[in-house]
Amino acid sequence: MKKVGIITFHAAHNYGSMLQAYALQQTVLGLGYECEIINLRTLIQRKIYSPFFMNKGLAKKLKAIRYPRLAIEDIKKHRKFEKFLHEKFILSPHTYTTAEELKNANLDYDYYISGSDQIWNTSCFDFLSSYYLDFVKSGKRIAYAPSMGPKPFKDIDKKFYPFIKKSVAHYDAVAVREQDEVILLEQVANITPPVVLDPTLLVNPQDWSSLAGNKPLINGNYIFIYTPHYENYKPLFTTALKLAKTHDLKIICSLPDNVSRWRNEPRFQYYTAVGPIEFLNLVKYSKYVFCGSFHAVVFSILFNKPFFAYDGMNDSRIAPLLTMTNLEQCAEIQEGQLPVSYNNEKTKEKLESHISKSIQYLKNAIND
């Protein structure tokens, strides 16, 4: 049986990163191939995602002293991510920490897939040239939905353009996640790749539901609020609080960076020991989702949850998904009104053709 090696940000302690890696692994397995995640884990990546009391940074140590309960929760969260990593992924036997180690390795995969996630975003702190498959000596090179970030022309320094042009020229098949990448690659590398779906959308919603579990972590009706950070999303939090008070809802927040601002507000409940499975559970059993995250939007749609994607139509990752599913209204919210429900069957129909095209691309790319 032919063997596929996937390289991506599988070990980042980020819900979307791990879940998209899992989704691509499961999709490749479903196509009838052996599959491994090439276990590239850089030292900087390990440090960034370490529990904050273990981090060498002074600010994080002070935070652990000031909020000891959150420090304990952070350790639990770290363990849940590591548990998912080791239980749900088929990892390569060896762990690599540098691009040089990979170049010196004797890998024997028949096919190499880079994707998905922002692995082609050269401004990411854990970016390496390895994500452009520069370590591959033989075998077919495939790009499946790598992203260059929310704003490729801003995120990608022009000094990387020659490297990108040279790298993609060695690929046997290239498909990207966002239309803005197509425009950049047309200009930089003289190719016009197709746009394919994020791998999380290729997995049956019932499979995600099973992974999320059959019992809610939080009892009662709640708004699940999830953003990458607080500062750019203040209106999202204040809007959620107004609606929670009006409609007698709890607000569940899984990120601790805004705890000091809302700790005296009884409707805010912090559930921060959240790994990938717990994240799915919080979306699945929520009444509403308020978010500023691409993958929070994805799973809101897959679980048919009314959601509000703050400023979503100005996000190059979220906007195409909302347009594709005719859910542009979910990027807006009227004063005093909850997110609107939508017809899940129609949404599924809109996605179905894109799912079929994305899987067909993968089949064609892998087949000799």
Does residue 255 or residue 123 have the better pLDDT? 123
Whether the predicted pLDDT of 112 surpasses 70? yes
CA distance 95 to 107: 12
Model-wide pTM > 0.85: yes
324-365: pLDDT as tens digits: 999 999 998 877 788 988 988 899 999 999 999 999 999 999
CA distance 318 to 292: 9
> Do the two domains 3-201+354-366 and 205-337 of this chain adopt the same fold?
yes
Mapped onto helix, strand or coil, the DSSP state of residue 289 is strand
pLDDT of residue 150: 81
69-87: pLDDT as tens digits: 778 888 999 999 999 999 9
Read off the pLDDT band of 16 (50, 70, 90): very high
Residues sharing a CB contact under 8 Å with residue 152, sequence separation 6 or more, in sequence order: 121, 178, 180, 181, 183, 184, 316
198-235: pLDDT as tens digits: 999 999 999 999 999 999 999 999 999 998 777 778 88
Topology of the domain covering 205-337: Rossmann fold (3.40.50)
3-201+354-366 maps to CATH 2.50.20: no
179-206: pLDDT as tens digits: 999 999 999 999 999 999 999 999 999 9
Domain boundaries in the chain? 3-201+354-366, 205-337
